[in-house]
Each structure stands twice: as C-alpha cells, then as structure tokens.
C-alpha cells in the first residue's frame, strides 16, 4: 500500500498532464507528458512540466516545475507551435534525453539534462549520417509521439501516426540511434501496422494509430500504443526490438470497453476519446499510465494509472478504470471524497465517444492554473458518476454535497444496475449544500454509483461515508 492515499487522477485535480510516460530513475518515478490547459481549445499548448514520487509512496507526488519551455526549440522561438507527447531515456553518458515533436513540423527534436527533472536544454534534431533531418527527406514519414529505449550505447526510437485512409503512413517505425543520441545508425523500419496495412493481420481491428511506448519486460520487448479505436491502449510483444512483434491485447480503455467483470463487455462506462501512456515497473509492480478527458472536450486531459497483473505467459490482462489506481488496494471506506475521483461517467445512452453537448463532465471553477478543486458538472436526468473501490466497515450514513438549479434526487447504488440503496433530495441552490441519509452496508469492498434524477442540471462536489 502507498504511504499516502493515492487516487485517480494521481495528480492534483487542477493539473492537466496527459500522454504520461512513467520512468523510474533511482528511487523515484517521474512522469513526463504533454501539457493541456483547463478549458483548452487545442492539444498540448503549454510548456513541459514534470511530477515525481517515491517508488514506495505513489500518493505523494512532487511538482518539479517547468522542465522545458516550448520556446526553447530553435524552430519555435515565437512559441506558436505546441509541444506534443514526449519521452525520456538515460543515455550511455549518464545524462537524460528528452525526445519530442512540435505540432507543425515533421522532425524529431531532442533536449538534454543532467537530472531527470531537468531543466532540459535544446540539443538537436534526429538526422542521418549525412546530416539530413529525419522526417524531411524524400520518402520519410513525419515524426510523431516518440518512444525511446537505451541499451548499452544504442538507443531504439519508435515514432508514428496513422490516420485512417492515409496510405502514406505505415505504422509505428523504429530507428537505432548512435551513442550521440541524435545520429541514425539504421533507416526507419515499420514494426506495427497502421489501419491501412493491417487487413488480414493479427492487428486488424486494433491497428496502430499513435502513442508508441516501449519497455523491456523479462527479456522481451513490449510496445504499447493507441489503436485505431483511440480510446484503448494495446500492446505487442517481441523477442527483439526491431521486428517480430505480435499483437497481445488491450491494456486499458478510457471507456472500459471490453471489460465484462462488472458490466457487459460492449458497454461504455465513460465518454472516451484519444489515449496515450506507458507501462512501468514501480516497486516490483507493473502499472499502466493513461489519460482521461475532462470538461466535456478532448483538450483538457488528466493522467490516471492502474495496477497490472503479469501472467505466467507474459501477458497483461486488460484492467478496469478505478478511483484508487496507484493505492495498492481499495480506498478507506470512511470520510469525504471529492467527486473528481469518478472513474465512470455516463448517461442513459452509454456513449463510447465524447458527446460534448450532453456529457456529464469533470469541471473546475476559475481558469487554467487556478488551484480549484474539481467537481462533476452537467448532471442531467439519468447521468451517473461511478467511484471504485472502497473498503467499508461500519458505514451507516451517506452524504452528498451539491449545487445547481436542479432540485431533483440522487440515487445511490453499489452497482451500475443495482438496487437503489438510498435516495437523497438535493436542494435548488447556487451554493454548495450537503444532504445526508441513512445507508446501512455490510462490511466489504464496494463501488458507489450516484445517479441524478430530475430536471435542470446538478453539480456534485463530493460524497461522504460515515
């Protein structure tokens, strides 16, 4: 168990760090990702930041500050381009190398630092032995979403983006870099097929889209990626890093599609959109890091994580989204919990993809950068927020704190389709108000599903177990 209670999202509710790549350096795990804005209108408009935590205390995250400003790249001195998803590796010289792409140029940039959390300084662009930049040569595919793995004096760098209908993009591609971390030793080679090249292969239906992420697990190479369905992170396994990858399954979906343990496999339990993340062994356990969407848009994403189980055959079964991801077990079934910890958000339709107009959503007051605690908004009739899991002992009372021009009720269940265990009438109010009801539960581990019934639109700040 974590020394501090760990939640999903694992960073503060006002932090929007998607595309999270976790890496353990020394006794800390560092999260490198892109940087969204609350109420943003584009992906990744802000400077790179970093958070880290002790490997034995995954509820204790430290803000490392801005590690690389978007204007540091010579191609972006005016800051008009966005910094897309990065990755970091420790080079053979002991320094740390940050690989990234800007949103309007096809090349791969590199920055370097003496410590994992930087600050990083611009270093150069990936190029061939003639000095020509990768992505600009005739026949090159544009660089996108790097994944890097260093072994000895060579580094494997994966990259790629494959939209449907575009046969000029083949899939996830790999090159080997020299020890200078910039010069290509090999030409790019496609190792995972995009949707235009997956027909008849084991990747069909889950073809590569973007978000390459490479790790080595018990001597084998695991390449995670976002599939053509976007909401799921899949993975492939090979005995070698340059070819031979076989499709292995889905690690996580930010809709919980395919999971059939607590609901039908084809039922979505959250509004999904794109996804990006990576696996990492932290303190002897494997985790998958991914992101969710907030504010009813694609552009305000937050990092989440779940513990994986490595089976004897080397595969990881898909994990469900929870509110307690890095905690090492259920959350204590007592006290007040903020509503932004919801891992399930759905309406009567159970839509797979984000419906911006009607989506129940995580929100916050204020503007981006304001340290305002998140809450759930746009709760219309039939909207449900789900929270998992809580180890309850002696629970006898249940409270909700709400506001909004609503005036309906909130029904409490311990399964999405379970019996109503309690009903709370909530006031028509423009300030936060708390209502309490008796709720008798036998001791055990529970999920909680809160459904709004009535007219208007409600907001949910928190619920309390007592």
Cis peptide before 47 (omega within 30 of 0): no
Among 308, 258, 260, 254, which residue's Cα sits nearest to residue 281? 308
Tell me how far apart the alpha carbons of residues 44 and 85 are, in angstroms, rounded to a whole number: 8
The position carrying tokens 């910094």 is: 83
Q: Checking DSSP bridges between strand 121-125 and strand 147-151, what pairing results, if any?
A: unpaired
- Output phi, psi for 67, to 5 deg: -100, -15
Contact predicate 376/386, CB 8 Å: no
Beta-sheet strand order (sheet of 171-177): 147-151, 154-159, 171-177, 189-193
* Residues designated as active site: 19, 210
b/e map 12-45, b = 16+ CB within 10 Å: bbbbbbbbbbbbeeeebbbbbbbbbbbbbeebbb
Tell me how far apart the alpha carbons of residues 116 and 414 are, in angstroms, rounded to a whole number: 42
């Amino acid at each position: 168990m974590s020394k501090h209670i760990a939640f999903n999202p694992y960073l503060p509710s006002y932090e929007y760090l998607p595309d999270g790549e976790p890496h353990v350096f020394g006794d800390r795990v560092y999260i490198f990702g892109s940087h969204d804005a609350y109420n943003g209108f584009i992906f990744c408009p802000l400077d790179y930041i970093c958070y880290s935590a002790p490997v034995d205390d995954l509820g204790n995250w430290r803000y490392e500050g801005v590690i690389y400003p978007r204007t540091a790249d010579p191609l972006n001195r005016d800051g008009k381009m966005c910094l897309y998803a990065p990755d970091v590796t420790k080079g053979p010289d002991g320094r740390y190398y940050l690989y990234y792409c800007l949103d309007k140029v096809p090349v791969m940039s590199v920055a370097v630092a003496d410590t994992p959390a930087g600050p990083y300084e611009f270093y150069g662009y990936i190029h061939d032995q003639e000095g020509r930049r990768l992505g600009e040569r005739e026949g090159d595919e544009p660089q996108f979403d790097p994944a890097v793995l260093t072994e000895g004096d060579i580094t494997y760098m994966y990259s790629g983006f494959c939209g449907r209908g575009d046969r000029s993009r083949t899939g996830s591609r790999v090159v080997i870099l020299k020890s200078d971390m910039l010069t290509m030793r090999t030409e790019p080679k496609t190792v995972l097929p995009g949707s235009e090249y997956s027909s008849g292969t084991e990747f069909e239906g889950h073809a590569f889209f973007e978000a390459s992420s490479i790790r080595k697990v018990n001597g084998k190479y695991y390449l995670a990626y976002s599939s053509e369905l976007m909401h799921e992170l899949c993975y492939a396994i090979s005995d070698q890093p340059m070819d031979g990858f076989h499709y292995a399954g889905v690690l996580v979906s930010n809709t919980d599609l395919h999971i059939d343990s607590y609901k039908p496999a084809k039922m979505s339990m959250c509004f999904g959109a794109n996804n990006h993340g990576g696996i990492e062994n932290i303190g002897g356990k494997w985790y998958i890091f991914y992101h969710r969407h907030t504010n009813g848009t694609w552009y305000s994403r937050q990092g989440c994580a779940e513990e994986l189980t490595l089976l004897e055959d080397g595969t990881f079964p898909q994990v469900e989204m929870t509110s307690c991801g890095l905690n090492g077990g259920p959350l204590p079934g007592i006290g007040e919990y903020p509503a932004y910890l919801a891992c399930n958000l759905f309406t009567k339709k159970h839509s797979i993809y984000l419906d911006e107009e009607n989506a129940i959503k995580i929100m916050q007051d204020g503007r981006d950068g304001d340290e305002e605690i998140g809450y759930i908004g746009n709760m219309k009739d039939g909207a449900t927020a789900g929270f998992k899991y809580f180890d309850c002992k002696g629970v006898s009372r249940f409270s909700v704190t709400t506001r909004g021009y609503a005036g309906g009720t909130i029904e409490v269940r311990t399964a999405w389709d379970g019996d109503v265990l309690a009903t709370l009438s909530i006031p028509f109010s423009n300030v936060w108000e708390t209502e309490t009801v008796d709720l008798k539960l036998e001791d055990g581990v529970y999920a909680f599903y809160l459904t709004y019934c009535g007219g208007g639109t409600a907001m949910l700040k928190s619920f309390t177990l007592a």
